[in-house]
Amino acid sequence: MNRQPILIVEDEPNIARLIEAYLKHAGFATIRAADGRRALDLIRDESPRLVILDLLLPEIDGWSVAHALRRESDIPFLILSAQKDEIDRVAGFTAGADDYVVKPFSPRELVERVRAIIRRYEAGSREGHPAVLRAGGLELDPERHRVSRGEDEIELTLIEFRLLQALMSAPGRVQTREALIARLYDDAPDVIDRVIDVHIGKLRRKLEHDPSLPRLIRTVRGVGYRFAPKDDER
């Protein structure tokens, strides 16, 4: 059994205790941080299995923790927030969050979402030796979680990596936004199409020579996206 703890980052002790009780009951080990600075220390020292991250925190806020987390690791995280407008939701996924729960929330549902993320995440690393993908001059190594062009490694967030993996696994084939969302998020009926567009935009800025004239990730109007290897271009 995996005893790596789940890190709960929450400054309201009652909420932190509630989450902890439900996770422990579900068989997870837990650790807690009540501010952003402590959260970053624990992320570095304990490499938690997953992070539950409140956004409004003392010392360092949740957004900064999210960005630092994504820069430094592939640890999955779920954002917990009292702010429910759509912009925050988009920004949450853009920061690389694996899911988003709005307060007040049902602790049972939170535990279910934690399980879903862990299932999705650990299934990906259990598949043995998944094939290295090569297309359009890029090489994507699922096992080492690495994307490169020649000698140059390209830094991607976890979501960008999964999106590129989905596109590169079927070069030349059109994939709808809905299909891509389904591949990226197990259980996210409220993820909006625009989230995919935001991540595609970021991928293009990292991968394309001219992001305004994308040659690798092509838009198929009204349908979705297609990964087109360079050889197909004219």
Residues found near Ca ion in the complex (CB under 5 A): 11, 54, 56
Between 12 and 127, name the residue whose CB sits nearer to Ca ion: 12
Cβ at position 17, least distance to Ca ion in Å: 14
Between 11 and 186, name the residue whose CB sits nearer to Ca ion: 11
Which residue's entry shows tokens 């079927």?
170
Cβ at position 104, least distance to Ca ion in Å: 13
Q: Which of 189, 151, 183, 154 is nearest to 169 (CA)?
A: 183
Between 58 and 201, name the residue whose CB sits nearer to Ca ion: 58
| Beta carbons of 101 and 89 less than 8 angstroms apart | no
**Which residue's CB atom is positioned nearest to Ca ion?**
56
The DSSP code for 131 is P
Between 54 and 160, name the residue whose CB sits nearer to Ca ion: 54
Between 89 and 199, name the residue whose CB sits nearer to Ca ion: 89
Tokens of 62: 């949740």
Cβ at position 216, least distance to Ca ion in Å: 40
Cβ at position 116, least distance to Ca ion in Å: 24
Cβ at position 168, least distance to Ca ion in Å: 39
Q: What is d(CA 35, CA 57) in angstroms, rounded to the nearest whole number?
A: 5
Q: Exposure pattern of 166-183 as b/e (b: 16+ CB <10 Å)?
A: bbbbebeeebebeebbeb
Whether the CA torsion 200, 202, 207, 209 is positive or negative: it is positive
Q: What is d(CA 189, CA 205) in angstroms, rounded to the nearest whole number?
A: 28
